[in-house]
Chain A
Amino acid sequence: MTGPGEPLLHVQSLHIDYASGGRLHPAVRGVDFTVGAGEVVAVVGESGSGKSTTAHAVLGLLPPEGLITAGAIRFRGQDIARLSERRFRSLRGAEISLVPQDPTVSLNPVTRIGDQIAEGLRIHEKLPRRAARLAAADLLDAVGIDRPLVRSQQYPHELSGGMRQRVLIAIALACDPALIVADEPTSGLDVTVQRTVLDKLQQLTHDRGTSVLLITHDLGVAVDRADRIVVMQAGEVVETGPATEVTRQPRHEYTQRLVAAAPSLHSDRLTATAGIVATASASPPGARPADPIERRADEFVRVTDVRRQFRVVLPDSGRVDLVAVDGVSFSIARGSTFALVGESGSGKSTTARLVGGLDSPTSGSITIDGADLEQLSRGARRALRSRVQFVHQNPYASLDPRFSLYDIIEEPLRAFGVGSGRDRQARVTELLEHIALPASYLRRRPGELSGGQRQRTAIARALVLRPELVILDEPVSALDVSVQAQILQLLTDLQVELGLTYLFISHDLAVVRQISDRVGVMQQGRLVEQATTAELFAAPADDYTRRLLDAIPGSRARG
């Protein structure tokens, strides 16, 4: 048992190295923190900070090439860092358990979920099959899944993502452990689902007095859910303290940057960096006319009552018409940002494709700069392509791995036959300045760039033809928060400088708040609300918008 005053978990100057290619690469360098009984501690950090490695070490689940080189992990006073696999096994699941990262792939696809929950009980408490099944159904009930007896007979693919994460929580709770390690438990889930899942986890662990080690990249989630926060950077702990204190008065410079970058803790639209001057005729953001009539005069994109349905063939019910976009209307003023927000399947990406002319609406009309897309000739449509460009969600996949940076940025010029080779070279070099990458990078290939640099490259490719409208499809969702902030700032600067109009697609209201002038909220193909960003956040009219806003993590830090 834990002695008086001794924390449940005490990680002491832990060092972990990864062995690869005959060398050791340090991943965790002298990490110290404690988790008290019944306490929720969040470890926050960006990718590569070593937070996940630390979590795996606590569970004794480091990959074979991960080596604990120094330090100790004391659980109830006992050092478990060098426990034999046999001894550790009796601890895992019984005393320390895991809520894993990605619910969609963390359940065995060919085993009934009831059996998966019961497995821990069968291993540790040697429960007979039937008793374990009943206990599993009780656990399903506890995590808030309806008809638990029926559900426990189902397979993972028959459950939604949120439900699967609840099942994983039930698995973690099965043997009533003292500590739960939750490794990014809601990444990949929609915000509203994320919220209910985290609520459930919080409630259950609180009721049972279970301690939680919460691993997350999202400072907002950490401050909402944890008692204390441990901030990690490059394998080291840079700051530890009570959650609200760390976010309100960060002491370490890195934490300050992290707090500054975290979109969920901020409420203002970004303004252009000092010194950026508008070169185009468009009015700069912020100084935009508030009068709706005047805005209409300055309208660049107009979407009127657009509907798009797909015919799909389902094996059981035959042909079905699936409405992806239903009666959507909005307009975007020249030089402004219109954001479409929604959860997965809301139709926001389909709408973006329609506006970009990659797909035609079933009914309704889309005009860009006064020209109706449907009435355009093929040639005119293609010409319009050069004025409307895309930036993709995933900077890892959207760049051809064989191309150099130069080839990537030059490709649209080549495609539209713009200028001579020398002209094109000049233009590419010019753009490299815009995206703040050194000219020496031109020969590099995407594999040699970081995520942020790749996304900058994708932005340069989109801008090379001097477009007027740029459609940004979740451009920052695959990036770490500090990189996210840089890219958002870059986009803001470019908008002012070049007078660009943005259509910004995102699932993340917090990000949207920083970049857009107007916001439209989409749900199941319909635009349920649209308003200026300030109005929407101050006084959401629609019930769904309110739920989305409530689900943004970090409300505790905002006060």
Chain B
Amino acid sequence: MTLAEIAGATTAPADAPAASAPAAPPATTGRRRSRWRWFARRPGLLLSIGVLLLVVLWAVRPGWFTAADPLVGVPREKLSPPSAEHWFGTDSIGRDLFARVVHGAQYSLRAVAIALVLALVVGALLGLISGYLGGVVDNVIMRVVDVLLALPGLLISLILITALGFGTLNVAIAVGVSAVAAFARVMRSEVLRVRNAAYVEAAVKGGVRWWSVMGRHVLPNSYGSIMALGALEFGSAILSIAALSFLGFGAAPPAPEWGALVADGRNYLATAWWVTTLPGLVVIVVVIAANRIGRALDGEWRQAR
């Protein structure tokens, strides 16, 4: 369990759907307008969405943002500080650092995507089964989940890397598996919460069959929390993947993975501050943006709806 998760888990889905809101019947157009206003009042959130979109574009179309080659350097220009020509400066063999960061986005994003999909699918499935079936199955799954949550995520990832070997894919799998438990637990508690909700009881009392209850009430009402956790996990997955690639377990050297970029600068700490500092700042900005969106999904959005 990563630290961001603990914070995320305690930002519990406190969901009281418009519990005491007075009847305010907006027409559809009014609703759309109020949605815009809702966003307009949250410039930080808009900025965060912008940051993530930009990073996705970096990954898909790096050529739009930089003409420099991320792998081949100009030795003459090695370790030159940030300038108009090299926004982030250059590294020890004269490669443009900004180009490396832009091109590195695809490694990080691909790894994050694999990790998240793995964690989400496996975790949500386990949680769903556990919460719905209950009894022995629930007990077994939840005990395993508890232990996985007790072990720090990084340690679980390291075990898996020991077993699977190095590389971006293995790092992604390792990070994904370490996040499965969190998704399983949130999904299970959501299923239980919704299943015990009065409207589900009302549906059951009314004679609605259980699969129908599951599909029409339980799933649609629980997926919000899962999405929110997904966004929070996005941030911590970027951090974990960067940490693992910093340790040298990620893609092989010339690849500009973000964590590896920071590691590259270790030997030039005294002379070239930008080589470590700037790629790290990019990571921070992306993680903050992801967390901001996660918080929006978790609470504000649902309350406003």
Residues on A lying within 8 angstroms of B by beta carbon are 48, 356, 358, 382, 385-386, 389-390, 392, 394, 396-402, 411-412, 414-416, 444, 446-450, 453, 458, 461-462, 465
Contacts and interface: CB of A to CB of B under 8 A. Distances in A.
Interface string B1-34: 0000000000000000111111111100000000
A526 B28 CA distance: 53
B197 A397 contact: yes
Contacts of B201: 392, 398
Contacts of B23: 448-450, 453
Contacts of B19: 396
A461 B202 contact: yes
A412 B206 contact: yes
Interface stretch (B70-78, B131-139, B207-215): B207-215
A238 to B, nearest CB: 20
B198 interface: yes
B24 A448 contact: yes
A415 B221 contact: no
B206 A461 contact: yes
Nearest to B17: A401
A411 B205 contact: no
B206 A390 contact: yes
Contacts of A48: 22
Given A392-B202, A448-B24, A461-B206, A400 B217 contact: yes
A80 B207 CA distance: 58
Contacts of A389: 205-206
B87 interface: no
A415 B212 contact: yes
Contacts of A462: 206
A411 B208 contact: yes
The A interface, classified by DSSP as helix, strand, loop or mixed, is loop
A458 B209 contact: no
20 contacts: A358-B204, A389-B205, A398-B199, A399-B199, A399-B202, A400-B200, A401-B18, A401-B199, A411-B203, A411-B216, A412-B206, A412-B208, A415-B206, A415-B207, A446-B18, A447-B305, A449-B23, A450-B22, A461-B202, A462-B206
A449 B25 CA distance: 8
B43 interface: no
B242 to A, nearest CB: 37
Ranked nearest first, the 6 interchain pairs of A and B with the lowest CB-CB distance are: A401-B17, A397-B198, A447-B18, A385-B207, A415-B208, A398-B198
A390 B202 contact: yes
Nearest to A400: B199
A252 B22 CA distance: 25
Contacts of A415: 203, 206-209, 212
Given A411-B206, A416-B207, 14 more contacts: A48-B22, A385-B206, A389-B206, A396-B20, A397-B198, A398-B202, A399-B199, A401-B18, A402-B221, A414-B212, A415-B209, A446-B18, A447-B17, A458-B202
Nearest to A357: B205
Q: Size class of B's contact patch? A: 20 to 34
A448 B25 contact: yes
Contacts of A390: 202, 205-206
A394 B197 CA distance: 11
Interface in B114-136: none
Contact of A382 (B22, B202, B207): B207
Contacts of B209: 415
Interface in B208-235: 208-209, 212, 216-217, 220-221
A198 B99 CA distance: 76
A412 B201 CA distance: 13
Contacts of B204: 358
A359 to B, nearest CB: 11
Contacts of B221: 400-402
Contacts of A356: 205
A450 B18 CA distance: 11
Contacts of A412: 206-208
A99 to B, nearest CB: 23
A465 to B, nearest CB: 8
Nearest to B19: A396
A390 B216 CA distance: 20
A358 B205 contact: yes
A49 B186 CA distance: 40
B34 to A, nearest CB: 10
Contact of B198 (A382, A392, A453): A392
Contacts of A385: 206-207
Nearest to A395: B198
Contacts of B17: 401, 446-447
Nearest to B26: A448
A446 B18 CA distance: 9
Contacts of A394: 198
B198 to A, nearest CB: 4
A447 B303 CA distance: 11
A464 B63 CA distance: 61
Interface in B234-252: none
Nearest to B28: A443
A465 B200 CA distance: 18
A392 B202 CA distance: 7
A415 to B, nearest CB: 4
Nearest to A450: B23
Contacts of B24: 448
A458 B21 CA distance: 18
Given A396-B19, A397-B199, A398-B198, A444 B206 contact: no
A363 B207 CA distance: 24
A451 B19 CA distance: 10
Nearest to A449: B23
A415 B221 CA distance: 19
Nearest to B199: A400
A390 B203 CA distance: 10
A333 to B, nearest CB: 23
